[in-house]
Amino acid sequence: MGGIMAAARRSGAKEQPGGMPPGDVPKGKYKIASDARAQQRELGKTGARVSILGVGGYHLGIPSEKEAIRIVRRALDHGMNFLDNCWDYNDGESERRMGKALRDGYREKAFLMTKLDGRTAQSASEQLDQSLQRLQTERIDLVQIHEVIRDDDPERSFAKGGCIEALVAARQAGKLRFIGFTGHKDPRIHRHMIETARKQGFHFDTVQLPLNVLDVHYRSFEKEVVPLAISEGIGVLGMKPLAAGLILQSGVAGAEECLRYAMSVPGISLTITGCDSEGVLEQALWLSVNFTPMSAAEKEKLLARTAPAAQGGKWEKFKTSQMFDGTEQHKRWLTSAEL
């Protein structure tokens, strides 16, 4: 899961016999009944109901356009209604493909989310308009500030002429319903963003953060941010359940148990996972339909096994390096709508 085939190749994981990287899922391995529907939960205090697993948008740029459209539509047909995306994913191609998938009545089946990099009101507004055009919709259900990973991101976002101004105006204009933020670097920055919002009299509807079997041991979002968010009525969106496939490369846990652990974190609304093939989607659908939370004993055993690999964040490179930081590699995205 989590785009494990592509992630495994990018990370240098060894291929298994038959040319399949660790975690790749052949189509048809997981049988999905025609009437099977993903379980759903409430999204924080928004009143919206969303599937317990969401389709990650980045990975829709990996297969062919035709297969990407099939992935989105099949997910929606089975009630996997939460769709993740971002203005910068694959230079806008992920949004364009999703927009095509949402034609023919599929937009009505979806809870659509995208993310913006702009920290100024002007850049955020321009990026939002581009996303609306690519996604072929007049309104996006949830728009989140992307990559809140720097110490000054909260102040920049809430400053006069900052991106919060643009998002509030867009909500008033009917271009979006809910506002959230994302980040993967340090739980301290997430807490600062929530606390800054509180001081400004602003309430985020959602927060997106890494949740996986390694996170709990190192610079933990699960321990340091999830309880705060829940106490403030903010819907929690888990991401990176496989740490971009690196957990599979480490060999300490398999895809199903990684996803099931992330989905079992108490109080969260959903977990976002990349689906870069129909086989991977079928695995996600199967888990969404048949999910049961991990018991305390199961969690304890799994976390004891993963603790040594988690030390120092070796396999959570989004915390310890800049290789996942698009807005550091392309700093113009913070102030411009040019990709």
Mean pLDDT of 207-235: 99
pLDDT at 249 (0 to 100): 93
In a domain, 57, yes or no: yes
Q: What percent of the chain has pLDDT over 70?
A: 93
Q: What is the CATH number of the domain that holds 162?
A: 3.20.20.100
Q: Is the pLDDT of residue 192 over 60?
A: yes
Token reading at 253: 């846990």
In a domain, 264, yes or no: yes
Tens digits of per-residue pLDDT, 35-55?
999 999 999 999 999 999 999
Tens digits of per-residue pLDDT, 116-128?
999 999 999 999 9
Q: Which domain holds residue 140?
A: 35-333
3-state DSSP call for residue 175? coil
In a domain, 160, yes or no: yes
Residue 36, CB-side half-sphere exposure with 13 Å CA sphere:
19
pLDDT at 24 (0 to 100): 79
Mean pLDDT over all residues of the chain? 94
Structural domain count, the chain: 1
Q: What percent of the chain has pLDDT over 90?
A: 92
In a domain, 10, yes or no: no
How large is the angle between the packed helices 93-101 and 121-135, nearest 10 degrees? 40
In a domain, 339, yes or no: no
In a domain, 1, yes or no: no
In a domain, 51, yes or no: yes
Q: What is the pTM of this model?
A: 0.93
